[in-house]
A and B are shown apart, each in its own frame.
Chain A
Protein backbone atom coordinates (compact mmCIF):
# COMPACT_ATOMS: atom_id res chain seq x y z
CA UNK A 1 0.00 0.00 0.00
CA UNK A 2 1.33 3.42 -0.98
CA UNK A 3 1.79 5.45 2.15
CA UNK A 4 3.71 7.97 4.19
CA UNK A 5 4.49 6.85 7.73
CA UNK A 6 5.54 8.93 10.69
CA UNK A 7 6.85 7.96 14.10
CA UNK A 8 6.08 8.54 16.83
CA UNK A 9 2.43 9.50 16.50
CA UNK A 10 2.36 11.13 19.92
CA UNK A 11 5.24 12.53 21.93
CA UNK A 12 5.45 14.46 25.17
CA UNK A 13 8.88 15.77 26.01
CA UNK A 14 10.64 18.43 28.04
CA UNK A 15 12.33 21.62 26.94
CA UNK A 16 15.82 21.08 25.58
CA UNK A 17 15.70 17.32 25.09
CA UNK A 18 16.68 16.53 21.51
CA UNK A 19 14.18 14.52 19.51
CA UNK A 20 13.70 13.14 16.03
CA UNK A 21 10.45 12.50 14.21
CA UNK A 22 10.89 10.01 11.42
CA UNK A 23 9.12 10.08 8.07
CA UNK A 24 9.24 7.41 5.42
CA UNK A 25 7.46 6.97 2.08
CA UNK A 26 7.31 3.87 -0.11
CA UNK A 27 6.36 5.53 -3.40
CA UNK A 28 9.85 6.49 -4.61
CA UNK A 29 8.84 10.16 -4.47
CA UNK A 30 11.42 12.85 -5.13
CA UNK A 31 9.81 15.60 -3.09
CA UNK A 32 9.24 15.49 0.66
CA UNK A 33 8.13 18.17 3.05
CA UNK A 34 7.39 18.87 6.70
CA UNK A 35 4.50 21.03 7.90
CA UNK A 36 3.26 22.10 11.27
CA UNK A 37 -0.39 22.77 11.93
CA UNK A 38 -1.53 25.19 14.60
CA UNK A 39 -5.03 26.52 15.39
CA UNK A 40 -5.77 29.67 13.45
CA UNK A 41 -2.57 29.41 11.42
CA UNK A 42 -3.31 26.49 9.13
CA UNK A 43 -0.45 24.44 7.70
CA UNK A 44 2.93 26.06 7.50
CA UNK A 45 5.87 24.50 5.74
CA UNK A 46 8.97 23.93 7.85
CA UNK A 47 11.47 22.36 5.43
CA UNK A 48 11.30 20.58 2.13
CA UNK A 49 13.55 18.36 0.06
CA UNK A 50 13.60 18.12 -3.73
CA UNK A 51 15.68 14.96 -3.74
CA UNK A 52 18.44 13.12 -1.91
CA UNK A 53 20.89 15.55 -0.29
CA UNK A 54 18.82 18.57 -1.43
CA UNK A 55 16.91 20.39 1.31
CA UNK A 56 15.69 23.93 1.78
CA UNK A 57 13.88 26.09 4.29
CA UNK A 58 10.15 26.63 4.23
CA UNK A 59 8.21 29.35 6.00
CA UNK A 60 9.04 28.46 9.61
CA UNK A 61 12.41 26.65 9.75
CA UNK A 62 13.77 28.12 13.00
CA UNK A 63 14.46 25.48 15.63
CA UNK A 64 14.32 22.57 13.19
CA UNK A 65 16.77 20.53 11.14
CA UNK A 66 16.25 17.93 8.45
CA UNK A 67 18.33 15.53 6.42
CA UNK A 68 17.71 13.49 3.26
CA UNK A 69 20.31 10.78 3.02
CA UNK A 70 17.98 8.30 1.36
CA UNK A 71 15.11 8.93 -1.00
CA UNK A 72 12.50 7.28 1.21
CA UNK A 73 13.37 8.96 4.54
CA UNK A 74 13.12 12.56 5.68
CA UNK A 75 13.54 12.91 9.46
CA UNK A 76 12.70 16.11 11.33
CA UNK A 77 15.11 16.96 14.13
CA UNK A 78 14.47 19.29 17.03
CA UNK A 79 17.87 19.87 18.64
CA UNK A 80 16.53 21.80 21.64
CA UNK A 81 12.73 21.75 21.68
CA UNK A 82 10.84 24.64 23.23
CA UNK A 83 7.17 24.95 24.25
CA UNK A 84 6.38 27.04 21.15
CA UNK A 85 7.14 23.95 19.08
CA UNK A 86 4.16 22.18 20.58
CA UNK A 87 2.14 21.40 17.48
CA UNK A 88 0.77 18.79 15.11
CA UNK A 89 3.40 17.84 12.53
CA UNK A 90 2.82 16.35 9.10
CA UNK A 91 5.21 14.86 6.61
CA UNK A 92 4.17 14.86 2.96
CA UNK A 93 5.58 13.67 -0.34
CA UNK A 94 4.89 13.91 -4.05
CA UNK A 95 6.37 12.23 -7.08
CA UNK A 96 8.27 15.10 -8.69
CA UNK A 97 9.71 18.20 -7.09
CA UNK A 98 9.14 20.32 -10.18
CA UNK A 99 5.49 19.39 -10.69
CA UNK A 100 3.61 21.40 -8.11
CA UNK A 101 0.36 20.26 -9.68
CA UNK A 102 0.88 16.70 -8.53
CA UNK A 103 -1.04 15.34 -5.57
CA UNK A 104 0.71 15.45 -2.21
CA UNK A 105 0.45 12.44 0.08
CA UNK A 106 0.37 13.13 3.80
CA UNK A 107 1.43 11.07 6.77
CA UNK A 108 -0.94 10.54 9.72
CA UNK A 109 0.63 13.27 11.83
CA UNK A 110 2.73 13.49 14.99
CA UNK A 111 1.29 15.36 17.94
CA UNK A 112 4.19 16.87 19.89
CA UNK A 113 3.91 18.48 23.30
CA UNK A 114 6.93 20.24 24.79
CA UNK A 115 6.65 21.12 28.48
Chain B
Protein backbone atom coordinates (compact mmCIF):
# COMPACT_ATOMS: atom_id res chain seq x y z
CA UNK B 1 0.00 0.00 0.00
CA UNK B 2 1.12 3.56 -0.60
CA UNK B 3 2.68 5.24 2.41
CA UNK B 4 2.89 8.82 1.22
CA UNK B 5 0.08 10.94 -0.12
CA UNK B 6 0.86 14.21 -1.84
CA UNK B 7 -1.35 17.25 -1.81
CA UNK B 8 -2.40 18.89 -4.04
CA UNK B 9 -2.57 16.44 -6.92
CA UNK B 10 -1.98 19.29 -9.35
CA UNK B 11 -0.69 22.83 -8.93
CA UNK B 12 -0.46 25.58 -11.54
CA UNK B 13 1.43 28.80 -10.83
CA UNK B 14 3.15 31.68 -12.62
CA UNK B 15 6.88 31.94 -13.03
CA UNK B 16 8.47 33.66 -10.05
CA UNK B 17 5.86 32.47 -7.57
CA UNK B 18 6.56 29.95 -4.83
CA UNK B 19 5.21 26.42 -5.05
CA UNK B 20 4.35 24.37 -1.97
CA UNK B 21 3.58 20.67 -2.04
CA UNK B 22 2.65 18.55 0.93
CA UNK B 23 3.13 14.91 1.77
CA UNK B 24 1.43 12.93 4.53
CA UNK B 25 2.37 9.46 5.66
CA UNK B 26 0.99 6.87 8.02
CA UNK B 27 3.75 5.01 9.87
CA UNK B 28 6.98 5.86 11.63
CA UNK B 29 9.80 6.71 9.24
CA UNK B 30 13.58 6.80 9.16
CA UNK B 31 13.72 9.43 6.44
CA UNK B 32 11.66 11.15 3.78
CA UNK B 33 12.90 11.96 0.30
CA UNK B 34 11.59 14.11 -2.51
CA UNK B 35 12.02 13.16 -6.16
CA UNK B 36 11.23 14.96 -9.36
CA UNK B 37 10.01 13.40 -12.61
CA UNK B 38 9.89 15.16 -15.93
CA UNK B 39 7.14 13.87 -18.17
CA UNK B 40 7.54 10.14 -18.79
CA UNK B 41 11.15 10.06 -17.63
CA UNK B 42 13.00 8.61 -14.66
CA UNK B 43 12.81 10.09 -11.20
CA UNK B 44 15.63 12.27 -9.95
CA UNK B 45 16.48 12.62 -6.28
CA UNK B 46 16.09 16.17 -4.95
CA UNK B 47 16.54 16.16 -1.20
CA UNK B 48 16.39 13.92 1.85
CA UNK B 49 15.36 14.79 5.38
CA UNK B 50 15.91 12.48 8.31
CA UNK B 51 13.36 11.86 11.04
CA UNK B 52 15.38 13.86 13.58
CA UNK B 53 15.55 16.91 11.31
CA UNK B 54 12.88 19.59 11.01
CA UNK B 55 14.02 21.61 8.03
CA UNK B 56 16.49 21.33 5.21
CA UNK B 57 17.51 23.58 2.34
CA UNK B 58 19.07 22.94 -1.04
CA UNK B 59 19.27 25.84 -3.44
CA UNK B 60 15.69 26.98 -4.10
CA UNK B 61 14.27 23.97 -2.28
CA UNK B 62 13.15 23.95 1.32
CA UNK B 63 11.81 20.83 2.96
CA UNK B 64 10.16 20.62 6.35
CA UNK B 65 9.23 17.56 8.34
CA UNK B 66 6.75 17.34 11.19
CA UNK B 67 6.89 13.83 12.60
CA UNK B 68 4.13 14.56 15.13
CA UNK B 69 1.74 15.29 12.25
CA UNK B 70 3.38 12.74 9.96
CA UNK B 71 3.72 15.30 7.22
CA UNK B 72 6.31 17.03 5.09
CA UNK B 73 6.28 19.97 2.73
CA UNK B 74 8.43 20.89 -0.24
CA UNK B 75 8.74 24.57 -1.08
CA UNK B 76 10.22 25.68 -4.38
CA UNK B 77 10.96 29.40 -4.32
CA UNK B 78 11.04 31.71 -7.33
CA UNK B 79 9.76 28.99 -9.61
CA UNK B 80 10.80 28.70 -13.25
CA UNK B 81 9.11 27.13 -16.25
CA UNK B 82 11.80 24.43 -16.10
CA UNK B 83 10.44 23.36 -12.69
CA UNK B 84 7.36 21.97 -14.44
CA UNK B 85 7.35 18.30 -13.46
CA UNK B 86 5.79 15.78 -11.10
CA UNK B 87 7.12 15.72 -7.56
CA UNK B 88 7.02 12.62 -5.40
CA UNK B 89 7.68 12.05 -1.75
CA UNK B 90 9.12 8.71 -0.68
CA UNK B 91 9.41 7.36 2.82
CA UNK B 92 11.95 4.96 4.24
CA UNK B 93 11.08 2.93 7.29
CA UNK B 94 13.26 1.70 10.13
CA UNK B 95 13.23 -1.92 9.08
CA UNK B 96 13.94 -3.45 5.72
CA UNK B 97 15.02 -1.81 2.54
CA UNK B 98 11.74 -0.53 1.17
CA UNK B 99 11.28 3.03 -0.06
CA UNK B 100 7.58 3.76 -0.57
CA UNK B 101 6.40 6.42 -3.00
CA UNK B 102 3.32 8.59 -3.03
CA UNK B 103 1.25 9.38 -6.10
CA UNK B 104 2.89 12.70 -6.82
CA UNK B 105 1.98 16.34 -7.37
CA UNK B 106 1.94 17.64 -10.94
CA UNK B 107 3.42 21.14 -10.92
CA UNK B 108 2.96 23.43 -13.91
CA UNK B 109 4.87 26.72 -13.96
CA UNK B 110 3.53 29.07 -16.60
CA UNK B 111 5.99 31.49 -18.24
Contact = CB atoms under 8 A, between A and B. Distances in A.
Interface stretch (A11-19, A65-73, A79-87, A99-107): A99-107
Interface string B43-62: 11100101000000000000
A58 B97 CA distance: 11
By CB atoms of chain A within 10 A, which of B35, B93, B103 has the most? B103
Contact of A43 (B44, B97, B101): B101
Contacts of A58: 98
B14 interface: no
Contacts of B41: 108-109
Interface of B: 1-2, 30-31, 33, 35, 40-45, 48, 50, 88, 90, 92-93, 96-104
A58 B35 CA distance: 20
By CB atoms of chain A within 10 A, which of B48, B90, B98, B99 has the most? B99
Chain A, interface residues (CB within 8 Å), range: 20 to 34
Nearest to B5: A42
A98 B97 contact: yes
Given A90-B42, A106-B44, A107-B42, A100 B103 contact: no
Contact of B42 (A44, A97, A109, A111): A109
A31 B48 CA distance: 18
Interface in A47-104: 48, 50, 58-59, 88, 90, 92, 97-98, 100-101, 103-104
Contacts of A43: 43, 88, 101
A45 interface: yes
